[in-house]
Structure 1
Amino acid sequence: MATFEFNGKHFYIDGRLKRQLDDKVITDLEKRDKDAVFIVEGKERSGKSKFADILAAYIASKTGTEYNLSNVCMSPLEFRNKIMSAKKKQTVIYDEAHRGMASSRALSEINNILKDL
């Protein structure tokens, strides 16, 4: 287990996950100008949102970017707009994405929005 500080608060993160983020993701963001996408999947009420929040806070702490609740989106259109206006290395979370992507009609709409990114 490892800890990190972000916005004056201390957080815990799995040591192995921290090493993998440092070795691959942070390096890609900082030195290779790449993007990173994470999909967090699990049962209802299993802590997916909190896990994504800690991942985003850790990445923001390492890259020196801003992260707060305004970086969390609840709809496909909001997610697209936030991604398109995000600064380099900024973290954005699409929370409860399943609700926005559950129907076949929504899937087509989501696919079109995400293809435009």
Structure 2
Amino acid sequence: MRLGGLAVAVTISVAAVAACSDSTGSGGGGGHGNSISVSNNVFDPTPDTAAAADTVVFTWVNASNSHNVTWLTGPGTLPTNSSTMTTGTYKAKLAAGTYTFHCTIHSGMNGTIVAQ
């Protein structure tokens, strides 16, 4: 009987670990992605990484007030800043390097992208 109980415990443990895994690779702390959400006073994810020369898409999601993307630092010529909006998307093609950006309307709403 003890061996049967152990087998059940191991099976439950394996199932629990599998249920908690995330096969999509999404989550906090950044990752390889080309999509950044712009919502109520936050860019998500940040920091983020993207492949160099890829287009990064900023999407306004459930924003109850206006935001923009204004580039602060990066290699070479910076992308054109976005307009101020509450809905929609903005796209920027990034060469290799580290970029910082912020929303000029909301202090503390900052982001970083590393294009590799």
- TM-score band, normalised by the shorter chain? under 0.3
Query: Given the two structures, how large is their TM-score scaled by the length of structure 1?
Result: 0.26
Higher relative contact order (CA 8 A, sep 6+): 2
Choose 1 or 2 for highest CA Rg. 2
More strand as a share of residues: 2
Query: Given the two structures, how large is their TM-score scaled by the length of structure 2?
Result: 0.26
More helix as a share of residues: 1
